[in-house]
A and B are shown apart, each in its own frame.
Chain A
Amino acid sequence: MNSNIPFLNASIAQALDYTAPILFAALGGVMSENAGVVNIALEGMMRFAAFFGVWGSFVSGNAWVGLLWGVGIGIVLGALHAYITVKWAGDQIISGVAINVMAMGMVTYLLESIFRTTGYSPPVAYFGAPASKIHLTFLKGIPILGAFAELTILIWFALILVVVLHFVLYHTVLGLRIRAVGENPHAAETLGINVFKIKWFAVIAGSVLAAFGGLALSLGTLSSFTNSMAMGKGFIGLAAMIFGKWTPFGALGAILIFACAQVLQLFMQGTATGFAKLIPLGFYLSLPYMLTIGALIGVVGKAVGPASDGVPYKKES
């Protein structure tokens, strides 16, 4: 069975590859929603960042510069979302939808203005190039661990972030305050916590994480921007965040289920013989989504978010 090890490892690596962008998005959601601000603009932020990352990398020839550009647009969008929802207590859903719609229009507009195409950018320097990957040669050949032998830096970053975010949220003063603001901002305020500051911070930090999700798409796995790049990934990140009960590890678990189902789906489709060959393609393709709902029905049950999630916080007058 030794010959199966490369395949197993490659499959896990692929699942991780698939996981990273969605994980970033979900962590962005975790960050923002733990402070009580719903961010359904994860999708739009990913799209913006995916594009700006490619743009930056294209202009400079350096993927790290692209990364900075992507983070930059993440900050700008986060600030916009925070300005609307925190400063002016605007509806968080509406603000999120606004950013998503703008992402649809503006990015395509810029794509055409800059690259003379409406669909696909040229390839640029990226993190997935063999030379840019993190090589842990000693792991090669070991079952499962071998999957980690050649990952992009962004995947590692996503995985490490899960731990970091968990630590920040549950073991630091800042995390305690963030969660307090998300649970009961009025209580936090009566204790002298600057609710607005915390929310501003969490929203912008969450947006930057979502931006990393976009970057993982355009500069991690691939080396270019395509118009349909983020299509749905941000929303799946949102779903994973809820599935994972608004916690970093929960989100990771949810996405791993989904990513493994995706890889499994491709594998089953490719090797289908006999009866399995008769199963229509649509069932294979929808398998990950059905499994997610199934997992929710079977195991996870009711998810309860931060108590004041989505409620605009207004200072009484």
Chain B
Amino acid sequence: MKALEVKGIVKQFPGVLANDSINLSINKGEIYAIVGENGAGKSTLMKIIYGLYTPTSGEIFVFDKKVDIKTPHDAIGLKIGMVHQEFMLVARFTVTQNIVLGDEPSKGIVFDYKKALSEVKELSEKFVLKVDPAEKVANLPVGIQQRVEILKILRRGAEILIFDEPTAVLTPEETEDLFKTLMKLKKDGKTIIFISHKLKEVMAIADRIAVLRRGKLQGVVEKGKTSEVELARMVVGRDVVLKIPKAEAKVGGTVVSVRDLMVKSKRGIVGLKGVSFDVRAGEIVGIAGVEGNGQAELVNALIGFTRPVNGTITFDGKELRVITPFNIRKKGMAYIPKDRKMRGLVLPFRSRENIIMGQHTLYPFSKNGVLNSIEIDKFATKKLEEFDVRPRDIHTKARNLSGGNQQKLILAKEMSMEHKFLLASQPTRGLDIGAMEFVYHKLIEEKEKGVAILLISLELSEIMGLSDRILVLYNGEIVGETTPDKTTEEELGLMMLGLKRQKRVAQ
């Protein structure tokens, strides 16, 4: 039986043909992956299926019946559920409130919160997705937030589950948990549509894989009859070297030196408990660790969002007493934030305006406080080309870029800014494989130019492949320091979970 079929789906945005006559046919009980480069139209197609977008033309069949999905309400009625690329959660609500929202247990008009709590507890046990039903969502790590999302749709009896880049924000462990869940759901007979840029994951979990390129369906392959390399070629249209180029570090002087840094988290507890390390010119220092172990606090202290409780940060040999984003950037720091919407871009701004943010006060973009639009346009045109931001139009508003292209715009902005130190927090989040390769090259290039790089990533392969030294952050402390050739992903994984400690190498 076909769980879902789409026929001739076309979606036209102003100036962009996001979906161009797409036909897909998905069997009941299979895990169906969709891959494709950034801006290929994956999210758009999913939003059409879920009733968030109206297609310009095309038909949808669910369980062999032609359907007209106008709103998510219709989709839910057809037992379609979706876990969105950006989570659809009410941050101030509890887990329970989020899960039962829209279908609440009640006594008359009164919301029966007790019953809801127990329902959620039951549900979470049934599907082996552990959550604390009474916790506020805002306080949860993304992995758990995703569980909430999944529980939400399962509670509504979804048979077709759509996951839009579910692993982009997950740690490897969380990804593994998710896969266990997906396999279990598959066993229960549910149909799963899975979007990812990580071809290894796709190969691990999918039954069939559809490839989208520039809005068109490139082809559908069975997992058994393809390989990562071939998939990669289908996605980007050329061969991709999946291996990260290795370059020897020509280490220079210390650029950033952190001593005994103690930082409070947003919730007021000490999230970073006295951390010391150096980053030297021409090296990449990787920070490995499960999210929520102090990365956010470290970043916030380094860019001056949070004032440390204790400890010092020395930049270029000078101790900085008060750090503000302004003065630290002036000293030569670039920062790739992990949350592009909150910290990376001004969404209603056009690409040309976004790309100079942070260096707008510098020549040639401005002189004596007066902006030079000709220079800005020239620069933006060049950078969009270099970083392959699509569409290439410098007047596109950031809001209308696909997730991956927004990320590329941020990279273009930050990496073209003059800097001695690059703080990169998950720089490849949401990037397609071609773009990822490009970013790796860029980082190596920077390092060779003598930039000191601090790389924070959940992606162990990224950390292992790029770093010259690796620091493991656990529970607000550095529990180990190592180099990629002296360790394995498994060992790192143990350290990240606090199960193994290692003496720091003297510097």
> Using a CB–CB distance below 8 Å, which chain A residues touch chain B?
171-177, 179-180, 183-184, 186-194, 307, 315-317
Q: Would A183 and B93 count as touching, CB distance under 8 A?
A: yes
Extra A-B contacts (10), CB below 8 Å, given A184-B90, A192-B71, A192-B72: A171-B113, A176-B97, A179-B92, A179-B93, A189-B71, A189-B72, A190-B82, A191-B72, A191-B88, A191-B101
Query: Which of chain A's residues have a CB closer than 8 A to the CB of B109?
Result: 172-174
User: Out of A172, A187, A315, which one reaches B88, CB within 8 Å?
Assistant: A187
Q: A180-B90, A183-B91 are in contact. Are A173 and B111 (CB under 8 A)?
A: yes
In the complex, A191 Cα to B54 Cα: how many Å? 18
In the complex, A315 Cα to B70 Cα: how many Å? 11
Q: Would A191 and B76 count as touching, CB distance under 8 A?
A: yes
Q: Would A188 and B102 count as touching, CB distance under 8 A?
A: yes
Within 8 A of A (CB), among B54-95: 54, 71-73, 76-77, 82, 84, 88-93
User: Out of A188, A194, A316, A317, which one reaches B101, CB within 8 Å?
Assistant: A188
B152 contacts A by Cβ under 8 Å: yes
B438 contacts A by Cβ under 8 Å: no
B342 contacts A by Cβ under 8 Å: no
From B45-53, B213-221, B268-276, give the one contacting chain A. Answer: B45-53
In the complex, A186 Cα to B86 Cα: how many Å? 10
Task: Pick 6 A–B contacts, CB within 8 A, sort by A.
Answer: A171-B110, A172-B109, A173-B111, A191-B76, A192-B73, A316-B53
Query: Chain B nearest CB: distance from A191 CB in Å?
Result: 3
Query: Chain B nearest CB: distance from A211 CB in Å?
Result: 23
Query: Which of chain B's residues have a CB closer than 8 A to the CB of A188?
Result: 90, 101-102
* Candidate in A176, A187, A191, A192 with the most chain B CB atoms within 10 angstroms: A191
Q: Would A192 and B76 count as touching, CB distance under 8 A?
A: yes
In the complex, A239 Cα to B370 Cα: how many Å? 38
Closest Cβ neighbor of A306 among chain B residues? B92
Query: Which of chain B's residues have a CB closer than 8 A to the CB of A172?
Result: 106, 109-111
User: Out of A176, A189, A194, A307, which one reaches B104, CB within 8 Å?
Assistant: A176
In the complex, A173 Cα to B116 Cα: how many Å? 11
What 1/0 mask marks residues of chain B from 267 to 311 whose CB sits below 8 Å from any chain A CB? Answer: 000000000000000000000000000000000000000000000
Query: Chain B nearest CB: distance from A263 CB in Å?
Result: 36
User: Out of B92, B101, B111, which one reaches A193, CB within 8 Å?
Assistant: B101
* Candidate in A180, A188, A194 with the most chain B CB atoms within 10 angstroms: A180
In the complex, A171 Cα to B114 Cα: how many Å? 11
User: Out of B53, B92, B103, B106, which one reaches A183, CB within 8 Å?
Assistant: B92
Chain A at the B interface: SS class: helix
* Candidate in B47, B77, B103, B109 with the most chain A CB atoms within 10 angstroms: B109
Query: Which of chain A's residues have a CB closer than 8 A to the CB of B73?
Result: 192-194
Q: A191-B102, A193-B102 are in contact. Are A176 and B111 (CB under 8 A)?
A: yes
Query: Which of chain B's residues have a CB closer than 8 A to the CB of A187?
Result: 88-90, 98, 101
Q: Would A173 and B104 count as touching, CB distance under 8 A?
A: yes
Query: Chain A nearest CB: distance from B248 CB in Å?
Result: 48
Query: Chain A nearest CB: distance from B442 CB in Å?
Result: 33
Q: A187-B90, A192-B72, A307-B91 are in contact. Are A180 and B101 (CB under 8 A)?
A: yes
* Candidate in B54, B71, B90 with the most chain A CB atoms within 10 angstroms: B90
* Candidate in B72, B101, B109 with the most chain A CB atoms within 10 angstroms: B101
Query: Chain A nearest CB: distance from B264 CB in Å?
Result: 17
Within 8 A of A (CB), among B87-136: 88-93, 97-98, 101-104, 106, 109-111, 113
Q: A172-B111, A174-B109, A176-B111 are in contact. Are A191 and B93 (CB under 8 A)?
A: no
* Candidate in A183, A192, A193, A317 with the most chain B CB atoms within 10 angstroms: A192
In the complex, A262 Cα to B102 Cα: how many Å? 44
In the complex, A183 Cα to B138 Cα: how many Å? 12
In the complex, A177 Cα to B73 Cα: how many Å? 15
Closest Cβ neighbor of A186 among chain B residues? B88
Query: Which of chain A's residues have a CB closer than 8 A to the CB of B92?
Result: 179, 183, 307
Closest Cβ neighbor of B106 among chain A residues? A173
Query: Chain B nearest CB: distance from A233 CB in Å?
Result: 30
Query: Which of chain A's residues have a CB closer than 8 A to the CB of B89?
Result: 184, 187
Closest Cβ neighbor of B100 among chain A residues? A176
In the complex, A172 Cα to B88 Cα: how many Å? 22
In the complex, A194 Cα to B111 Cα: how many Å? 18
Query: Chain B nearest CB: distance from A171 CB in Å?
Result: 6
Closest Cβ neighbor of B13 among chain A residues? A317
Query: Chain A nearest CB: distance from B387 CB in Å?
Result: 27
Q: Would A180 and B110 count as touching, CB distance under 8 A?
A: no
Query: Chain A nearest CB: distance from B116 CB in Å?
Result: 10
In the complex, A191 Cα to B92 Cα: how many Å? 17
Query: Which of chain B's residues have a CB closer than 8 A to the CB of A184?
Result: 88-91
- Of all A-B residue pairs in the complex, the 6 with the closest CB atoms, nearest first, are A191-B102, A187-B88, A192-B73, A183-B90, A192-B76, A173-B104
User: Out of B72, B103, B106, B113, which one reaches A190, CB within 8 Å?
Assistant: B72
* Candidate in A186, A187, A188 with the most chain B CB atoms within 10 angstroms: A187
